[in-house]
Chain A
């Protein structure tokens, strides 16, 4: 079983749509959670951290369910510029800053 699992997609949605991505992680001792965004042939960039109480940044909302070991990302009012791969990321417990990435979910927003 992979440590972080995501639906690879692709998700093809029209502009203005709401889209949700889900992710599960296997290590219940994980403490830090993130969503990174990666454009084609570019480096991953931190989109947002994910907190237990849920958090929002503009059109983006992240949720964490520790009991189910489940993380989600909701994008409202999709823009063409949101087209990218979204990587679910978990910080491995172990005393150093090791990130474990899912394989990513591709999003394509079309006019």
Chain B
């Protein structure tokens, strides 16, 4: 069974740039969720995708957007990067309401 994989593992961007993070869900999982974890904080829910549509969204601005593909993989896009966007971005997959399985995360640094 293949787990959740994310790429890249680390990324450095400049303020104002755009970034795309990728996630491959665990085999058999149809739901993908994205979380942002700032240093010293718990993960914060960004949004969730189910059957290629956004299924729920947290308190994040529209410059955070996403996609889910037919194979259930997903992308997180962030436009107009700000310094406060520096964080660990976690992707989690699940089968409907089963427990979430997290990927290793992408550590984004915005300078």
Interface residues on B, range: 20 to 34
In the bound assembly, the distance between CA atoms of A100 and B58 in angstroms comes to 10
Q: Does A16 contact B (CB under 8 A)?
A: no
Contact B40 A46 (CB under 8 A): no
Cβ-defined contact, B44 with A97, below 8 A = no
Chain B residue nearest to A49 in the complex (CB): B99
Min CB distance, B58 to chain A, in Å? 7
By the criterion CB–CB under 8 Å, are B99 and A34 in contact? yes
- CB of B31 closer than 8 Å to a CB of A: yes
| Given known A49-B99, A97-B48, A97-B97, contact A102–B42 (CB-CB < 8 A) | yes
CA distance A99 to B100 in the complex (A): 9
Tell whether B55 is near chain A: CB-to-CB under 8 Å.
Answer: yes
| Contact between B48 and A45, CB atoms less than 8 A apart | no
A101 at the interface (CB under 8 A from B): yes
B7 at the interface (CB under 8 A from A): no
**Cβ contact within 8 Å between B99 and A4:** no
- B40 and A94 within 8 A (CB): no
Interface residues of B in 32-64 (CB under 8 A from A): 33, 35, 40-45, 48, 50, 55-56, 58
Question: Whole-angstrom distance from the CB of A85 to the nearest CB of chain B?
Answer: 9
Nearest residue, chain A, Cβ from B4: A43
- The answer to whether A96 touches B43, judged by C-beta atoms less than 8 angstroms apart, is no
Residues of A within 8 A of B101 (CB): 46
Contact A44 B102 (CB under 8 A): yes
Taking a contact as CB atoms under 8 Å apart, the answer to whether B104 and A96 are in contact is no
> CB within 8 Å of B: which residues of A?
4, 34, 41-46, 49, 87, 92, 94-104
User: Which B residues lie at the A interface, using CB under 8 A?
Assistant: 31, 33, 35, 40-45, 48, 50, 55-56, 58, 88, 90, 94, 96-105, 107
